[in-house]
Amino acid sequence: MAAPRERDSTSTRPALGAVLAGGAGRRLGGAKATAELGGRPLIRHPLAALRAAGLESIVVAKPDTELPALDCEVVLEPESPRHPLCGIVAALRRADGRALVVVACDMPLAAPALLAELAAAAEPLVVPAPGGRTQPLQARFGAELLPALEEALAREEPLRRTVESLGGRELGDAELARFGDPDRLFLNVNDEGDLRRAERALAVG
């Protein structure tokens, strides 16, 4: 990635946390946010991690997304396109000048300490990159990135390509090791097999 940009000195308020729940969840049979993991809906795991990191948190979802009962604000993103940037842009607009720490609703094992580190970062864009592969759905986006992200969304540009074009700081394996096993931290629940792997990971703590 290119050299990081300096953060706008006017952006001093605490970051906002956002769980992105706009995906269709077809491989999991739909209603991904309500799939049960460890006795509670999948979406509550990343939401709890953001709160444990000390962040005010929201959920961003499509109007037709099935959600469990939640004790936080739900922001509705546009019906189309179905694109991860759609949720990020909607959350940044809601953040009203604050930086944003996002976690996809299907990343239930996100580490609160890592999310807190992202929230406290000085750079507008900080993206974990376990094994050299960026994870923009568990990352920090500064408010100053909103115009560029809106333009990328209008083009429906792939999210990773957008992130790579913006420049920012990548957290590699050595840095991520402080927060736990990257295979656990970024476990992505897309199907029943992933759900079983997440259950086993929760069982061992």
Q: For the chain, how many residues are written?
A: 205
204 band by pLDDT with thresholds 50, 70 and 90: confident
The conformation of residue 15, written as its DSSP 8-state character, comes to: P
Q: Where are the alpha helices (DSSP H) in the chain?
A: 44-52, 84-95, 112-120, 146-155, 159-166, 173-176, 182-185, 192-204
Distances (CA, A) of 143 to 8, 40, 88, 148, 180: 9, 32, 11, 10, 28
For residues 161-187, give the mean pLDDT. 95
Count of CB atoms situated within 10 Å of the CB of 166: 21
For residues 108-119, give the mean pLDDT. 98
Count of CB atoms situated within 10 Å of the CB of 123: 18
Q: What is the pLDDT of residue 27?
A: 63
Q: What is the pLDDT of residue 8?
A: 43
**Tokens standing for 22?**
């706009």
